[in-house]
Structure 1
Amino acid sequence: MTECESQKPVVMENIDKFDNKKQVVADKLQKREDERLADIQKRKEEKSLVTSAQENTKFFHDHFTSEKIDLESELQACDSLDKNKLVEKFDDLSVRHQKLQRFLTESTMFLPSYDVRQSQDILAKLQSQIQEKRDELLPKKKFTFRSKKKGTVSEKQEEVKKETIPEDESVILADCKFTDKKGLDLKMEEEINKKDVALARLESCTVKLCGAASAIHINKLTNCTILSGPVSGSIFIRECKNCTFVVPCQQLRIHTTTDTKFYIHVTSRAIIEDSSAVSFGPYNWTYPNIEKHYEISGLDKSRNNWDDIDDFNWLAADKHSPNWSLIPESERSSNWN
Structure 2
Amino acid sequence: MDKTNQELSQEFYIHFNAAQSELASRANELNLGSTDSKALQQLSTDFAKLRKELTDATSFLPSYDQRQCELRLKEVEGSLEKLRTAAAPKPKFAFKRKAKTSTTSPSPSSTSSASKVAPITSALVDVSSSTPSSFAGVTLSGRSHEFLDLSSLPPVVSATDLIISDLDHCVVYMLSETRSKDGVARDVKITALHARNIRNSVLIMPVIDGSALLHDLSRCVLALGCHQYRMHSSTQTDVYISLASNPIIEHCKGIRFTKYPRYLHSAGDELPSNLAVQDFSHIRPTPSPNWSNLPEGSIPPEESWPKHGDSDNVEVDRVLQRLLPSST
Question: TM-score w.r.t. structure 2 length?
Answer: 0.53
Shift of 1:267: 1.1
Shift of 1:316: 2.0
Select between 234-243 and 181-190 the one with higher mean Cα deviation: 181-190
Which one-letter code corresponds to 1:332 in the other structure?
Answer: I
Asked if 1:125 corresponds to 2:7, the answer is yes
The answer to whether residue 281 in structure 2 is matched with residue 313 in structure 1 is: yes
Alignment partner, residue 102 of structure 1: none
Q: Identify the residue that residue 272 of structure 2 maps to in structure 1.
A: 303
Q: Distance in 2 between matches of 1:192 and 1:173?
A: 16
Bigger Rg over Cα: 1
What letter corresponds to residue 145 of structure 2 in structure 1?
G
CA distance in 2, matches of 1:164, 1:327: 39
> In the aligned structure 2, how far is the partner of 1:200 from the partner of 1:255?
14
What's the offset of the Cα at 1:132? 3.3
**2:20 pairs with 1:138:** yes
Identity %: 20
CA distance in 1, matches of 2:218, 2:146: 17
Q: How do 1:1-337 residues align onto structure 2 when only pairs under 5 Å count?
A: 122-139=4-21, 141=24, 159=75, 165-168=128-131, 170-188=132-150, 194-210=159-175, 211-284=188-261, 286=263, 290-291=266-267, 303-305=272-274, 307-317=275-285, 319-333=286-300, 334=302, 335-337=304-306
What does the per-residue CA deviation read over 1:129-179, in whole Å, with 9 as the maximum and x for residues that have no partner? 431342254226459999xx99xxxxxxx959x9995431x4332321201
Q: CA RMSD in A?
A: 3.8
- Cα contact 2:242–2:271 (8 A) shared by 1: no
Describe the shift of the 1:266–1:164 C-alpha distance in structure 2 as closer, same or farther (beyond 3 A). farther
In the aligned structure 1, how far is the partner of 2:214 from the partner of 2:157?
18
| SS of 1:124 mapped into structure 2 | helix
Contact 2:262-2:271 at 8 Å conserved across structures: no
**Residues 138 and 144 of structure 1, relative CA distance in 2, 3 Å threshold:** closer
- Counterpart contact for 1:227–1:285, Cα < 8 Å: no
Segments of 4+ in structure 1 off by > 3 A? 140-146, 162-167, 189-194
Matched-pair contact (CA < 8 Å) for 2:221–2:238: yes
- For CA contacts below 8 A with separation 6 or more, give which structure has more relative contact order: 2
State whether residues 220 and 238 of structure 1, in contact with CA within 8 Å, keep that contact through their aligned partners in structure 2.
yes
Contact residue 128 and residue 134 of structure 2 kept, 8 A: no
Q: 1:192–1:213: 8 Å Cα contact kept in structure 2?
A: no
Q: Deviations over 1:261-285 (max 9, x none)?
A: 1111111100110000111111116
Q: Find the aligned partners of 1:270 and 1:217 in 2 and give their Cα distance.
A: 15
Could you tell me how far apart the structure 1 residues matched to 2:271 and 2:138 are? 29
In structure 2, relative to structure 1, the CA distance for the partners of 1:235 and 1:269 (3 Å cut) is same
CA distance in 1, matches of 2:26, 2:169: 33
Q: How many residues align?
A: 201
State the distance in 2 between where 1:265 and 1:192 align. 25
- 1:212-261 alpha-carbon deviations (Å, 9 max, x no partner): 31110000101010000011111001011111101111111010000111
